[in-house]
A and B are shown apart, each in its own frame.
Chain A
Amino acid sequence: MKAARRPSDLAARSERLCHIEPGDMVPLPPPYEDFNRVTLPLLKPERVKGIETSLDDTVAIGIPRPASREEEDLLVRKFLSGLKKLFEKKNNWTFLQPLLLSMEHCARCQTCADACPVYEMSGRQEIYRPIFRSEVLRRIYRKYVKPGGRIAAKWNGDIDLNWTTVARLAELSYRCTLCRRCASVCPIGVDNGLITHEIRKLFSQEMGIAPKELHEKGTVQHLRVGSSTGMNPLAAKDNVEFIQEEMEEIAGFKVEIPWDREGADILLIHNAGEMLAWPENVGAFAILFQAAGLSWTLSSEAVGYDAVNYGLWYDDVQFSRVAVKHADIARRLNVRKIVMGECGHAHKALTVTADRLLTGDLNVPRESAMVTLADIVSSGRLSLNPRRNPFPVTLHDPCNMVRSMGIVEPQRRILRAVAPRFREMTPHGVDNYCCGGGSGFAIMSGYNFADWRNLVSSRRKFLQILDAFADEPPEAPKYVCAPCSNCKGAIRDMIGYYHGEERSGLYYGGLVELIVNAMSDMKKPIIQFDGKSSWES
């Protein structure tokens, strides 16, 4: 039985504000009924000793509990100081106008609630409701920042501000994937995803509080070592050399992967995670660009070989540093354009969000790989045999690429040309559902957060995938095309968690692999299903 929670309850001290009981979540169909009684594994006391765990069944950040009342008060004051800065031009010019508009005009009509996959799939847990955290922030802002707020608090909606409120709000800002489906249906245009983003920013930029995977192992490592994967430039080149050899095996001809070629038309930037987890994606790009006769290069300079920009999700300063570095590398290589590899958030970060950060010669044109690849496929420069992709294929739309950028059709044009058994998910395009790994969730796995992701935030996507292939026999291999590294990571994990490969024949991969798999002059298939050739599936 779910406890009814109100925004003001966030301040009331209790062991745990929300708990998902067996059977609360939206049920899965056969043959996955055994997961319908599964809930989150309990957090081991020894692992969470001394950290804040009072929000729900999981932990994303792991904020240390203050040692004394004085320390609590100090942190609350820091929070308030950061909150004020969110509403100042000099500190938050980046999002001040959208934030003010979303803070001031919500009618609390709840239209957003049904659009949110996390809220829906969790069994409508109140704290995951899109406006829950927005309303908490609104009430704190009105009461503690606006003049006369304390006097008018009972009138405007009251809330207490204490360490419990602050710690829970920090954690709660990491229960939303920032997919912005809620914003797309809001009749007024209010964006709860944006408010969540701003809460994360406040904690990071003022209090230094952010998930380790995004900050310490993410943007900081990216800027210091060269990649959020921890790969330095030498390691990246070594990996690509290995990929080159692998690709020559598959292609049956020499594959060139150029580095640091000044004056090339294209600087291609991959999510460096591809080099480690999905090397065939990096290799497939090389095969295609070579076959199409493009002038292109990779950069071996630190940051330049990793397109990710985790700052997009939690910190404008870190975001700016990474974006400026990417642009500066392209400027010095004197390329005509940057092409973003298969990474959705990197697409949005450098192409859209950083568009109003980069000036002068740093404003190097940026293009989605979906567009470049569609141009190659439609140009007739490749000899394609779609019958080499005889298996059913569905397409996952990465939110950052589709809803936030309007890159919708190029990837579909490609699929219609190379995958004769392509079918859409429902809904798709700009109405898509998030993979559940958005806003950093795909790379966050501390404590039991990966279980929360698989069970709650990825659940809707898993149901969509099953639905897309409902007319296929379970044993037949099926391909989920996800042209985004983080989405691919989330889909890989959900397939593994639910045993989707064994029970439903689910496989996943990028878009570029499907194109290369359909190329007539390939010696071997680049896509394999459980070690078997995909050409004969």
Chain B
Amino acid sequence: MKTHPYLPTGVEAIEAEMLKELGLKTIEELFTDIPNEVKFKGKLNIPGPYSELEVKRMIAKLLEKNVSSMDIPVFLGAGVWPHYVPAVVDAIVGRLEFATSYTPYQAEVSQGILQAQFEYQSMICELTGMDVANASMYDWATSLGEAALMASRITKKTEVVIPYFIHPERKAVLKLMIEPVGMKAIEVNQSKDTGEINLEDLKNKISKNTAAVYIENPSYLGFLEEKAKEVGEIAHENEALYIVGVDPTSLGLLKAPGDYGADIVVGEGQPLGNSMNYGGPLLGIFACKEEFARQMPGRIIGLTTTKKQNQRAFCMALQTREQYIRREKATSSICTNEALCAVAAAVYLSLLGPKGLKRLGEIIMIKSSYAMKKLKEIAGIKAPLFKAVHFKEFTVNFDETGKTALEVHKKLLKEGVHGGKIIKEEFPELGETMLYCVTEVHLKEDIDKLSNSLKKVLEA
């Protein structure tokens, strides 16, 4: 191979000089410690090498086959949501001093990312009403799993009560993570009418084995859980912890879960300055009360001082919980987390500030309410199915139109609009239903196009 731009020692003369230092003649001698029986003798079947120009064109051509939410209006949410990412966010997370650094094991040369992550943790605490947040988990689903494991460590109990209308992926990940250690998830009923948790059923399902009660607010199907405080009280009366899952864009407007009794808050931070990217990377939010800090999973950044000049400084805190020190007794196996996504969230929240975040929540509610009201006018459509206040997402039911959700979806695509997620298989009792999402990125003309296209599709 000729020299390669990323391989600076791969020049014959330099290589020869370095080999000589080692008393070797050929590169192959560097691999004599690999026994012949396990040596790979073929050539890897990988195309290339291509030049930068070629690779750029090849991948752009492939991506061109995708149709994005910039090409047509898309009304999907369900765990990843379309939001505008301010240009400042990209400018900062694109800074290569951040992007090309690693876990800040050497705090003295890593004050930048440490402080940015401390600020992220601090902002998450303000949003959720918790004292401590970690520097990130992989996503909401794995945060929930870790929260259940943590609750079990604290309470020494083995069951977690979850709502019936939960995101099926979140439920699946939770079960995967808790079952190997002998825990189980128990579902509590929710009203088909209003979506609310059935408090009587909760009282029946909660027991001396319950480590935690979990709710989502706003819920997976978009409705708000009005009796959130009562749910927490029932959890605490039974000496269980209270875990609340959140969409952080709602928290400028909605009460912090800490103010209605939550002990642990989890959620998805993707909407805070991170693009959808076909579902990843995401940003798992994880926060809790101070008294539980030592049982937390993941990396936590703390404020401290320097030893000589006693100046303010930042470093990783409570590391004795972490896998590289505590090994099989660690609170979690997480090492690489989603640090840069957390920095994006800190920048995003700094830009919006308290008033901007509140306005974001209001705008989302105005636009989603407008959309629900426009769709409700169409004969046969119910939007939403639940008699409750909704945030960002809502159910749209087509039972009375005589068409299936799939038929409507396919025809809508032909009109150049992408509807919501079909949830018929997840919750069959809800019938021909889809979950729609409306945020600040949907202009009035997008929502009107949706309603006009739906009208056309249903009349045809």
* A joins B in a complex: no
Chain B residues with a Cβ under 8 A of chain A: none
